[in-house]
Amino acid sequence: MTQLTPHELNDVLDRYAMVRDTIQGLESERDELGKLIKDALQQGQTAQTPLYRAELRGSRSLEYPADRFREAFGDAATLEVASIDRKKADALVKVGDLDGEVLSNLAITKERSPSLVLVPLT
């Protein structure tokens, strides 16, 4: 592992922050431009440059319906692969279908690998 002097580390942090901010700005602009292009294509317009042609393509994801999975593989296998969607559980608390206190008591916090967070000083 490379050992940096305090000055070098500060320079690396400064560069990291600049790259991160640039990427976030570019991603935001990309998302806005993409939305404009998608809206235009959905209205029947076409878009093309010398290098690219814009198309809308459907995307798919593979899911296994819990009831059918359970019928095929049983309760134990279903429980083994099941996961709880936090956002959906929280939504059920909001509409009163789940007890929020009970849900909170079930929650566990799992440690992840550390994230690099830049704390603004100004």
> For 11-65, what is the HEC assignment?
HHHHHHHHHHHHHHHHHHHHHHHHHHHHHHHHCCCCCECCCCECCCCCCCCCCCC
Element (H, E) at 101: helix 100-106
| pTM for the full predicted model | 0.60
Q: How many alpha carbons fall within 13 Å on the CB side of residue 64? A: 12
Q: Note down pLDDT in tens along the chain; length 122 residues.
A: 789 999 999 999 999 999 999 999 999 999 999 999 999 999 999 999 999 999 998 888 888 998 999 999 999 999 999 988 999 999 999 999 999 999 999 998 888 877 777 788 87
